[in-house]
Structure 1
Amino acid sequence: MFTTRPTLQGTFGMVSSTHWLASQSAMAVLEDGGNAFDAAVAAGFVLHVVEPHLNGPAGEVPIILAPAGGEVRVLCGQGPAPAGASVEHYRALGLDLVPGTGPLAAAVPGAFDAWMVLLRDHGTKPLDEILKYAIGYAESGHPPVEKIGETIATVRQLFETEWTTSAEVYLPVVRPGALLVNRTLAATWRRLLAEATGSTREARIDAARRIWREGFIAEALLRQSARPTYDTSGERHTGTLTGDDLVSFRAAYEAPATYDRNGWTLCKAGPWSQGPALLQQLALLPGELPARGSGDYIHLLVEGCKLAMADREAWYGDAGDDVPLQALLSDPYNEARRKLIGDSASHELRPGSPPGRTPRLASPAQDVEGRTAFDALGLASGAGEPTVSEYGDPIVGEYGETRGDTCHVDVVDRWGNIVAATPSGGWLQSNPVVPELGFPLGTRLQMTWLEPGLPNSLTPGRRPRTTLTPSLALRGGVPVMAFGTPGGDQQDQWQLPFFLQVAEGPAVRGGLDLQGAIDAPNWHTDHVPSSFYPRGMLPGQLTVESRVGEEVVAELRRRGHQVTVGAPWSEGRLSAVARDPETGVLSAGANPRGMQGYAVGR
């Protein structure tokens, strides 16, 4: 099978991420004696610098990790809604949706603390050795990828007239050949290191966490939240973040949600993420699948995806025992749901009814007979909804609204430690740059509904249901693969055919065919409500890469799918690493789409 690159193989260490500088920085940590967790944290902070349009320190990150010989755990770096972020407060401001930008959309920042906890508990390196790569790129500059310049150019007027602190950092980048320099961010990390004192490596990391929650960083974040800021509502609002919100947050470990298929166990974050939707898609599949890449195959996967994502809308959220996850993943439930998949494409949003439960959807999503959530919100169909570029990157609107995108990094080391992380939020287009810190607040609360009684209603102290969804797979009970992708609502859609091809497809050089599965044509549907402002949906819509072939497109259209044929390399941006527990051979592959993702290793 033709692939754009080889699946890398070696025995020392492997890294794959969405930016070559992050991948190489992580590899440098491995070369310097660090382990996979040290390397992942270093890459995470470099991603803040080199992909600021996709993530930042005040965003969020779910992490799935498997220490060598230990249990798979999820480390949650998704902060909750502040104590003052209630439906009543937002409704009193005349809002029907949480804005897509501005401090009113900011959850309690979670990424920084999660990275610190990972480094403290599982890493080996001191914090200064981990941050030096990010500090170097922020202080001395780096050549920005084209997408950064395109994003900045789109929001230039907003920066010039309203978000002037962002203009100071980012408008110089629009000049051809200019380096992206963020000396304020570098100074923030240098000051953090100077103030984070302690007698041990772990004590210094905990001191850094306290500074984030209570010190100069917290003070600057709170000042920014209190500044009236122009957002996608067309008004200026202040945020709800308080000092108590920052002090009370701690990144925490959880058990993963899991599903078994053909000797593999797939591990995901819980229903506060969309991760279980991938598990439900697997549970909805029959034992025997149609020929990979055929019209029958894509139809089966897409229709199963619609059912799983409809359940996401009706049942997922940070609602504790009110989320019937065990029932949603059970064989009897999915055997019954599988019967709903017919020969024709569904144009309805059909959540299921776990035993004794009645599904409820947010009001804009209730009307599925030919109308979209845009119509239900009084918008023209597609109005305000960013489209995607030829590489599948969401295009940012002039007021900073975006359908959401992110980064990803996977690392495996020679000792068998393996980790997957999907950092996001705190985009340069999400909020003004905090002038004292060099980075903005996030906007993850836009994923909640201003309608009481839903699993994902805006609720103080609850996490907004995030789209971020890294994956870790076991074979025969042993961790063997970490993977993930940017892409908002598309993440678990793109990961399904990738996983099936790796787990049930041919091997390459005796190992997993990671690069072949990444390179294979992919697709997504916008059939369900977007998780991002303004929460649009397009019933029956299906976007496929042109490489699926004209016959497949014709078959999908015959079945009633509203097919959009995208550019040949526009769907999916996966990264992956793997380890063969029998031989110790390590593997890695990276996405060629957009000419940005890279795997490195030896």
Structure 2
Amino acid sequence: MPPFTTRPEIKGTFGAVTSTHWLASSVGMAILEKGGNAFDAAVAAGFVLQVVEPHLNGPGGEVPIIAMRHDDDAPRVICGQGVTPAKATLGAFETLGLRMVPGTGLLPAVVPGAFDAWMLLLRDYGTLSLEEVLTPAIGYAEFGFPLLSRAVSSIIPVIDFFKQEWPSSAEQWLVNGEAPRAEALFRSPRIGATYRRILSEAQMAGTDRQAQIERAREVFYKGFVAEAIDTFYRQPVMDSTGEKHAGFLTGDDLARWSATVEPTVSYRYHGVEVHKAGPWTQGPVFLQQLALLKDTDFSAFGPQSPEFVHRVAEAAKLAFADREAWYGDGGQTVAIETLLSDDYNRARRQLIGERASMEIRPGLEGEAHIASIMALAGSEPTIGPGGGEPTFAPLPSVEGDTVHLDIVDRFGNMVSATPSGGWLQSSPSVPGLGFSISTRAQMTWLTPGLASSLMPGRRPRTTLTPTLVTRDGRPYLALGSPGGDQQDQWSLTTLLRILHYGFDLQRAIDAPQFQIRHFPASFHPRESVLGRLLIEGRFSQPTLEALRERGHDVALQDDWALGRVCAVAHYDDMVHAGASARHMQGYAVGR
């Protein structure tokens, strides 16, 4: 008997789509059936995710995308991470008396980057029209979709807050002044109207496909969308500091920004090349973990053994320490090539011992940076409705608050994307538009001289981190997960089980997961717990006891609590796909 999995690995020859919501996966597959390629399908599915998972992403959010045509020489990154406003300076926050960027409200806003990134993917990689990829999302917004119970759970704690402080959000997300009913049909007519107007104005550019896409970009970043944001962000609203503040974001910030295309950062490991976005994301931390594990003899122990968990967890501690000290879009950084070099990692591996480390140990004399960060991490309380990722009490503590999609078509074109931001509960809905704006600037520090210090016009170091793997220069595997700081832990464990233990996609995704909380979180209030190891209850008691004996602070979680990994692959002349059963909403489809 083959090992039990929650569902079969999808296999076929035509195409495969996986995402964190079954409706987005279905739409992506429908686009493939219509004759679109993987990139068309990704754009359509990405817009649907904005509508059907509004507590995890939205039209005002961001997305990094890794795309590769079947005959490209290498994948490319499309950066849909918007930058901090020109007026968001260290001095401006000091004037407000703040030591940290708050997690909610208008102050942590950045330019919403998702729309432009999807437009670039559609223009340069896709084949279908703007209308064809936008129509499914408009349809769900106007005619309704079953609202996830977790979305409703995100609204319930903030009903009174919405009514009193964010009336535009109350108008958008409440039904007759109450929370919507879980799993009942829910509509977002304002979002539908916004996208319908963008489409209408874009079609005024004529029948040329590219001209329409360019016009849509202009409408969003220089037209009525930017104007509505500019007007609203001048008005003070309550945020997680317990006070009302106006925002720094302006229409000029939107007009000056556009998505960009750049090379990936990659690392060769066990016969494949793993590609990530650059250090403006946490993506290279995945590669650093691989570099630290490069000489590990995984055949000497099993994929659920205490040795496997210990080795992976200790490598993660070292890699994430470097993330804290050196990753960012400006300021004092070191070359990623240095952090991935054999000499550097040969020395770093010697720090992995038989006992769990209780220190945050960056390399290259990064201790002073860590000391500055730890002096602030967790130092400011959150007042009112939560901060950070969209998790408000009484929601359970679940690290998985964004969305993800991976798609491969019959030609071997492949794309991986991790949209997030613009959470309905993180900032007030912009009147007339129906959606919230990203609060990603909370990932910056208000201490000068750090790699991730706040700098106007720079990208905050995002946790969003899709993965694309090539083999012999061709697209082989794409995977990713929601989960903030955990994304490059859950995805890494999944890949290790595929490469070293021969698991198929679904078995690797279903296997018990774990994660560390050893470093300052990327989300307000930026807390850390040294030595903390969260682990699913499906690990054996002997494994749990062995980890405790090694000194890990083991925090036992529910059996299916950690990770929402999605993955597609292309090999043996077939497409393959899998999706996590955790949260009971992700799905892979294909034929």
Shorter-chain TM-score tier: over 0.9
Distance 1:154 1:321 in 2: 40
SS in 1 for 2:583: coil
Distance 2:21 2:369 in 1: 37
> Which residue, out of 537, 544, 566, partners 2:535?
544
1:249 corresponds to which residue?
257
Distance 2:130 2:154 in 1: 31
Distance 2:12 2:197 in 1: 39
SS in 1 for 2:146: coil
Write the letter of the residue equivalent to 2:494.
F
2:105 corresponds to which residue?
102
Q: Which aligned pairs between 1:519-558 and structure 2 lie closer than 5 A?
A: 519-558=510-549
Distance 2:243 2:399 in 1: 20
In angstroms, what is the RMSD of aligned CA positions?
2.1
2:196 corresponds to which residue?
190
Distance 2:168 2:588 in 1: 35
Distance 2:19 2:481 in 1: 9
> Which residue, out of 291, 304, 311, partners 2:315?
304
Of 481-490 and 290-299, deviating more is 290-299
Distance 2:22 2:121 in 1: 22
1:267 equivalent to 2:258? Answer no
1:34 equivalent to 2:36? Answer yes
1:594 equivalent to 2:583? Answer yes
Write the letter of the residue equivalent to 1:315.
W
Of 286-295 and 440-449, deviating more is 286-295
Q: Which aligned pairs between 1:126-205 and structure 2 lie closer than 5 A?
A: 126-172=129-175, 173-175=179-181, 178-196=184-202, 197-199=204-206, 200-205=208-213
Write the letter of the residue equivalent to 1:539.
L
Write the letter of the residue equivalent to 1:435.
P
> Which residue, out of 229, 234, 246, partners 1:238?
246
Shift of 1:405: 1.8
Distance 1:386 1:432 in 2: 13
Contact preservation (8 Å) 2:240, 2:387: no
Distance 1:314 1:358 in 2: 6
2:89 corresponds to which residue?
86
Contact preservation (8 Å) 1:362, 1:451: no
SS in 2 for 1:158: helix
Shift of 1:584: 2.4
Write the letter of the residue equivalent to 2:132.
E
2:121 corresponds to which residue?
118
1:496 corresponds to which residue?
492
1:576 equivalent to 2:587? Answer no
Contact preservation (8 Å) 2:229, 2:250: no
Distance 1:212 1:379, change over 3 A: closer
Write the letter of the residue equivalent to 2:449.
G
Distance 1:176 1:517, change over 3 A: closer
> Which residue, out of 361, 373, 377, partners 2:377?
373
SS in 2 for 1:527: coil
Q: Which aligned pairs between 1:364-513 and structure 2 lie closer than 5 A?
A: 365-366=373-374, 373-374=377-378, 377=379, 395-397=391-393, 405-506=401-502, 513=504
SS in 1 for 2:88: coil
Shift of 1:165: 1.1
2:297 corresponds to which residue?
288
SS in 2 for 1:174: coil
Structure 2 unaligned spans of 5+: none
- After superposition, give the CA deviation of every residue in 1:508-545 in whole Å (9 maximum; x if it has no partner): xxxxx000000000011111000000000000001000
Distance 2:311 2:290 in 1: 11
SS in 2 for 1:424: coil
SS in 2 for 1:103: coil
> Which residue, out of 55, 62, 65, partners 1:53?
55
Distance 1:363 1:526 in 2: 17
Shift of 1:176: 5.3
Distance 2:398 2:88 in 1: 22
- After superposition, give the CA deviation of every residue in 1:272-302 in whole Å (9 maximum; x if it has no partner): 0000000000000124123221001100100
Distance 2:450 2:576 in 1: 42
Contact preservation (8 Å) 1:155, 1:397: no
SS in 2 for 1:23: helix
Aligned residues: 579
Write the letter of the residue equivalent to 2:233.
S
SS in 2 for 1:577: strand
SS in 1 for 2:585: coil
Structure 1 unaligned spans of 5+: 388-392, 508-512
Q: Which aligned pairs between 1:328-339 and structure 2 lie closer than 5 A?
A: 328-339=339-350
Write the letter of the residue equivalent to 2:391.
I
SS in 1 for 2:582: coil
Of 403-412 and 490-499, deviating more is 403-412
Shift of 1:362: 5.1
Shift of 1:474: 1.0
2:20 corresponds to which residue?
18
Distance 1:158 1:44 in 2: 29
Contact preservation (8 Å) 2:331, 2:450: no
- After superposition, give the CA deviation of every residue in 1:294-341 in whole Å (9 maximum; x if it has no partner): 001100100000000000000000028833211100011111111111
Write the letter of the residue equivalent to 1:532.
F
Write the letter of the residue equivalent to 1:586.
V
Distance 1:430 1:176, change over 3 A: closer
Distance 2:260 2:197 in 1: 26
Distance 1:22 1:373 in 2: 36
SS in 2 for 1:453: coil
1:510 corresponds to which residue?
none
SS in 2 for 1:412: strand
SS in 1 for 2:266: strand
Write the letter of the residue equivalent to 2:542.
E
Of 268-277 and 192-201, deviating more is 192-201
Of 464-473 and 71-80, deviating more is 71-80
Shift of 1:167: 1.0
Of 264-273 and 285-294, deviating more is 285-294
Shift of 1:383: 12
SS in 2 for 1:588: strand
Distance 1:265 1:466 in 2: 23
Write the letter of the residue equivalent to 2:133.
I
- After superposition, give the CA deviation of every residue in 1:440-472 in whole Å (9 maximum; x if it has no partner): 111000000000010100001110000000000
Contact preservation (8 Å) 2:66, 2:467: yes
Normalised to the residue count of structure 2, the TM-score between the two structures is 0.95
SS in 2 for 1:284: helix
Distance 1:321 1:94, change over 3 A: closer
1:68 equivalent to 2:57? Answer no
Distance 1:42 1:323 in 2: 37
